[in-house]
Chain A
């Protein structure tokens, strides 16, 4: 018994060690995370292990994607250079621990915003940069055209530690269908298992399905079913407790979206300084003192737009032009029939 108690204490202690190095206390109006970021000279950003369109590294190690662009925007705003980001690829399982333990400062990794994640585990979601929903992919030859045609015994491949696992249980349970969940830690393993015929269907967010389909041996033999079984608002996450840093990340993302709304892009941003519209002038730092609120200079938003571009540019570059999801669907501005709507920067 004594042995067990001893072991228990040492286990607790071990974790204490992990946490000990990440002590960061919050100061009023001052962001410890921002200070450390400036001192360090780069933003520490957690991304996926490779999801085309969202966060994906090419052969030479350059990261691209709309999730990557959020971190680049923060780097442009805080450090003046969008390239000063250190990306850490994380599995779904590792991502929250990496953030809460202070290994990264922003988690921008196609992460679904849910109540329990926001409230329970020391995280704060700052916004939504992609509205998604869970879907299913099947082989074309199977003749399955709708999720209502799934039968008892269907084996389903998916990722560990995601909302997907919960949604698919809700989905199959409510329909009374028994199924075999085959759950892998890495997305590449899921794709490989589905490709080999281990599973009859592959389920994850629809954008993910579209992106992962390109990795299959014969992408054209597979089709994503039309039904969407869940709401998956994906967005960047920060650690709870540093509200200034939280605001910086939130408004970096909002700046990109609002810039698109006002037609400001990376090529015309400088010219917009002389615009007649005060809202536009505020967004390029020509009017007001917006940056002062979080301890940044007044050109922070102009740098984001010039170096990273507005949301529309980021979407086109990463998701539309790569053929993943050419149609913006709900991720269109509210003025154009989508649901992208951000509070005004003023």
Chain B
């Protein structure tokens, strides 16, 4: 009995205090808002937003609702985060492995890269890319073509747009390729386990990925044309490119800054992971006759990944949250569109900031959940 009291009383008290504090604060906010004639409510979400957004992945205009403006901002946040996560992972793995290279030049360049980019505040890097690097680009009419068909200008990067016919057939073929690769892998694993035979899965997979979609072009009626950006005159001295896809400089600056900055942390995670696998493992693997490739793939990497994944998850979360710095350079992300313009036009500070915080929380928890699932999948299975 005594034990139970000792165990539960402090906890109940703690909960009570927390509830009381929250209750008091909520009431206080309510009273203050009432005094000032501020209504609390989410009805504004269905009202017409009446402002436009620079860049949107979905159809949006000022006659759409605030809820849709929220979605526009959210998708822009997810877009910049996703692109940056992909780039920072690729770059991070390369740099991380390079730091372990025995080549003096490669090793030290990688070290310098890491020390340089991770020790400059991210906001400064964003400002550098946006205000210094991208502002120095030529005006559209003076831009030289990169790769013949793309134009890097102060108003953005213009690339050709793809015009598909029967895109769905192409996508089905891609899907079919992926499914057959999974089947092939299972079959190969089975073959290896039962008969000890190995087949070059990677080679077959690549072949499948190329051949199946290619067949859709030949027999599925799929066609792909490129719409090239064309210079268009707006006035005597100002031009833009029309047609094609325009990537705004705000997006480019943000992706550059986020991926270069975060890649240094990913690189360190990768290095730590690989160094964390003891030398004995490698030597033991080599002594049972595995090739160096197999040693890396079957022995080192599975163990290294266990060390790499958890801290890398943190970096992905940081990156996503850091993407809210977009507001500093006019990239229309969630913070700029929703917690910026929409907040100003409606004055619903508490509602909008709460929604925004909840949204970031949800994104972060989702990323964490995915990475935890992956981590579970690769962790040591005790038998």
* Chain A interface (Cβ < 8 Å from any Cβ of B): 3-4, 7-13, 15-17, 19-20, 22-23, 25-26, 92-93, 96-97, 100, 116-117, 120-122, 138-139, 141-144, 149-151, 153-155, 160-162, 165-166, 168-170, 172-173, 179-185, 189, 192-193, 196-198, 200, 239-241
Contacts and interface: CB of A to CB of B under 8 A. Distances in A.
B61 A173 contact: yes
B29 A12 contact: yes
Interface centre among B22, B32, B155, B242, by most chain A C-beta atoms within 10 angstroms, is: B32
Interface string B362-381: 10010000000000000000
A23 to B, nearest CB: 6
B234 A200 contact: yes
Interface of B: 21-22, 24-29, 31-33, 35-39, 50-55, 61-63, 131, 135, 139, 154-155, 232, 234-238, 240, 242, 248-250, 327-330, 332, 336, 340-341, 343-347, 349-350, 353-354, 357-358, 361-362, 365
Contacts of A12: 22, 25-26, 29, 350, 354
Contact of A153 (B38, B240, B341): B240
Contacts of B349: 15, 97, 100
B141 to A, nearest CB: 11
Nearest to B27: A16
B350 to A, nearest CB: 5
A196 B135 contact: yes
Nearest to B55: A180
| Smallest CB-CB A-B distances: 10 pairs | A121-B347, A161-B344, A16-B25, A122-B36, A16-B29, A142-B235, A143-B236, A169-B62, A13-B25, A122-B38
Contact of A25 (B21, B35, B249, B332): B35
Contact of A13 (B26, B31, B61, B236): B26
B35 A26 contact: yes
A141 B54 contact: no
B50 A170 contact: yes
B232 A198 contact: no
Given A7-B358, A161-B344, A183-B54, A13 B32 contact: no
Nearest to A20: B28
Contact of B22 (A9, A92, A193): A9
Contacts of A170: 50, 62
